[in-house]
């Protein structure tokens, strides 16, 4: 079974010295009554939003890996997400958070995004 997680966000640089992470979670109850409407070309649609139980996985993925590239000072706000009611997990969102950081760092540094993402995925 393949775990599924989808994340998106925005990085806002600042003049300070620290990098901050904001992870927005769904404010209304999520569950089997919510339709899966986030289209995926890889599999069935995902349910929009980030359940609170997966938020810590995202934060861990964004912040805890010393081998990941360093983001400059600013705030990374994760405000878009999609999950599968049966095939998502905190671990899947940890990996997605780490991958988001790799991709944003590549964009900021003018590097090839696909190459950076493929290297990160191979390291899993």
- Percent of the chain scored above 90 by pLDDT? 58
Give residue-wise pLDDT tens across range 90-118.
999 999 999 999 999 999 999 999 999 99
Banded pLDDT at 59 (limits 50, 70, 90): very high
What six digits make up the tokens of 71?
Answer: 């983001």
Question: Whole-angstrom distance between the N-terminal and C-terminal Cα of the chain?
Answer: 16
pTM (2 d.p.)? 0.85
What whole-number distance in Å separates Cα of residue 89 and Cα of residue 53?
9
Report which of 30, 97, 25, 28 is spatially closest to residue 61, judged by C-alpha positions.
97
The pLDDT of residue 124 is 81
Banded pLDDT at 34 (limits 50, 70, 90): low
Residue 36 clears pLDDT 80, i.e. is over it: no
Residue 5 clears pLDDT 90, i.e. is over it: yes
Q: At what angle do helices 90-108 and 113-123 cross, to 10 degrees?
A: 150
Q: Could you tell me the residue range of the domain that residue 54 belongs to?
A: 5-123
Residue 67 clears pLDDT 80, i.e. is over it: no
* Total tally of structural domains belonging to the chain: 1
């Amino acid at each position: 079974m393949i775990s599924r997680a989808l994340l998106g966000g925005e990085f806002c640089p600042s003049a300070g010295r620290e990098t901050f992470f904001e992870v927005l979670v769904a404010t209304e109850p999520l569950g089997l009554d919510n339709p899966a409407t986030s289209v995926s070309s890889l599999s069935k649609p995902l349910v929009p939003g980030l359940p609170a139980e997966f938020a810590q996985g995202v934060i861990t993925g964004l912040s805890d890996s010393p081998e990941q590239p360093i983001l400059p000072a600013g705030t990374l706000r994760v405000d878009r997400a999609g999950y599968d009611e049966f095939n998502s997990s905190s671990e899947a969102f940890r990996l997605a958070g780490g991958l988001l950081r790799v991709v944003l760092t590549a964009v900021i540094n003018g590097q090839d995004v696909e190459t950076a993402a493929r290297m990160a995925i191979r390291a899993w």
